[in-house]
Amino acid sequence: MSEDKIIEEIQRKKKLLKLDGDEILRNAGRMKFGEKSLELLRRALNVESLGAMPFSLYDAPPIIESAGEGALIYDADGREYLDMMAGFSVNNIGYHRPEVLEALIEQYKKISQYGEMLNETRIKLSELLVKITPGEPPKKVFYGVTGTDANEIAVKLVRSYTGRPYIVTHWGDYHGRSIGTSALTSSFSTWSQTYPVPPADTAVVRFPFPYCYRCPFGLNRDNCGMICTNYVDYMLRSSYYGLANPSKGLTNVAAFIIEPFQSAAGYIIPPDGYLEELYKIVKERDILFVVDEIQTGWGRTGKLWAVDHYPGVKPDITLVSKSIAGGLPYSAVVGRKEIMDSWGPGAYSTTFAGYMLGAAAALKTIEIILNENLAYQAEKKGKYFLKGLKDLEEEHPIVGDVQAKGLYMGIEFVSNNEKKPAEKETRWMASRLLQLGMLVKRSGYFGNRFALSPPLNITESQIDKAIEIFDRVFGEAEDKFDIKR
């Protein structure tokens, strides 16, 4: 391709992706945003990049000002929203918990941050994390700030420990969007959105996630013979995949770094038996098994960790973040001592890693999660929520599939009986729900799923109300887009 052609292609792609600020404002007017929200949105559009996340979720983004009890959020005009996102699964314990506030004040009075130095609060947190994360003791901790950090740390650590370059992950997993972690995250938004920046790490190999509703191999779960794990086994058995030379007992793979359930891809849960089988294949070859529990952890799925649903699976390393610290940024890599101690001092560093204020928030947040048994609450409330969603699936042809574990719930939308992904309909419903007072996250391989992750202290009456609003909006979408069974 000539240089001119390449520039033309870049410009064409950028044009396709570009948003129009005036249109966002018009959408906000059409969606009847309140006056203060409209005014703040106008100001934001003057000074905030249109590449920011809020502009991608709805036809116009709400201006979030405060939170209420359970799963309630309020905008700048005081309008109430049912919260089905928990700030991207960050607020499992709910909002403004007085115990966390008190812990923050106490810590802030002492010190909030000092380089990446140790203090007693942080050490207590490490002692707790090694006890409650999955995997065999003895374990140790390495801190980051964001989920992306945790993944970057894991990639460097497993390579340094094993002396092998390759990382294997699922297509469709989400592990962050830095230049490094973009190689692990294969979604449209990470690669095409910033075109022509390619993922920088080439020693990453991917295999399909078991998205059984739309099996990438075109099979059905009843008779697929678990082709997805067979495929992984094949990749590692044949020297022609470049990952191993089995006849010499060699492998180039440092680790599998995977999401146990796929979150950003739309809350997709693998079939029973999958994770155990994958783990077995990996461990038979003495490869490290790293689970990214950043979104699935802290009770969300009805157990403290998603891998707790599969007792035989003992990760070498677990990555945690999001709901760890009551809404403050914090992340940790927790792994077997031998691995964690294998690299030199200061091997990775970021100024706020392990900061004291966050450690105090994390200690208190984890105490709440454990003491209030939020995993059990998620399991119980998840069952109640799922019953409502299953009723809606029966009633509404637009609902193709519902998957849930605890309060980790994915809904897939279709526009006909051949399971055609209802992409534009899903986009429309997300904005309509916003207008009616509900925040949902639209996602999915085909942009046709809602990923629901309310705070785990959501009340039954809030769940009832959510089902009622869904019922209304699904019906409206079916009428508007003429969707019938």
Which spans of this chain sit near ligand PLP (rule: CB under 6 A)? Answer: 88, 146-148, 151, 174-176, 259, 263-264, 292, 294-295, 321
Which residue lies nearer to ligand PLP by CB, 148 or 462? 148
How near is the Cβ of 85 to ligand PLP at its closest, in Å? 11
Nearest distance from residue 323's CB to ligand PLP, in Å?
A: 11
- Helix ranges, 62-210 (H): 86-89, 98-110, 120-132, 147-162, 188-191
Taking the complex as a whole, the smallest distance from the CB of residue 292 to ligand PLP amounts, in Å, to 5
- End-to-end C-alpha distance for the chain, whole angstroms: 47
Residue closest to 145 by CA, chosen among 381, 392, 461, 358:
358
Residues near 150 by beta carbon (within 8 Å), at least 6 away in sequence = 144, 292, 294, 319, 320, 321, 331, 332, 333
Q: Closest CB to ligand PLP among 146 and 403? A: 146
**Least distance between ligand PLP and beta carbon 30 (Å):** 30
Per the CB < 8 A criterion, the answer to whether 309 and 272 are in contact is no
Smallest distance from ligand PLP to CB 362, Å = 14
- What is the C-alpha radius of gyration for the chain, rounded to an integer number of angstroms? 23
Whole-number Å distance between alpha carbons of 412 and 431: 17
Q: Which is nearer to ligand PLP, 320 or 363 (CB)?
A: 320
CB of 367 to ligand PLP, least distance (A): 22
Half-sphere exposure of 311 (CA within 13 A, CB side): 0
By C-beta, is 294 or 307 nearer to ligand PLP? 294
- How many Cβ atoms are within 10 Å of 248's Cβ, its own excluded? 8
- Closest CA relative to residue 118, chosen from 359, 363, 317, 365: 359
Q: Which is nearer to ligand PLP, 296 or 462 (CB)?
A: 296
- Kindly tell me which of 90 and 422 has the beta carbon lying closer to ligand PLP: 90
In whole angstroms, the minimum distance from the beta carbon of 161 to ligand PLP comes to 21
Point out which residues pair with 81 in neighbouring strands: 73
Please state whether 419 falls in left (phi above 0), alpha (psi between -120 and 50) or beta.
left
Closest alpha carbon to 169 in 187, 143, 196, 157: 187
Task: Please give the DSSP secondary-structure letter assigned to residue 240.
Answer: G
Is 44 exposed, middle or buried, given 0-12, 13-18 or 19+ CB atoms closer than 10 A?
middle
Cβ-based nearer residue to ligand PLP, 189 or 342 = 189
CB of 399: closest distance to ligand PLP in angstroms? 24
CB of 264 to ligand PLP, least distance (A): 5
174 φ/ψ angles, rounded to the nearest 5 degrees:
-120, 120
Which of 321, 403 has the CB closer to ligand PLP? 321
d(CA 255, CA 238): 18
Which residues, including other chains, have CB under 8 Å from residue 388's CB and lie 6 or more apart?
Answer: 463, 464, 466, 467
Choose between 259 and 316: whose C-beta lies nearer to ligand PLP: 259
What would the 3-class secondary structure string for 386-399 be? HHHHHHHHHHCCCE
Q: Which is nearer to ligand PLP, 174 or 428 (CB)?
A: 174
CB of 441 to ligand PLP, least distance (A): 10
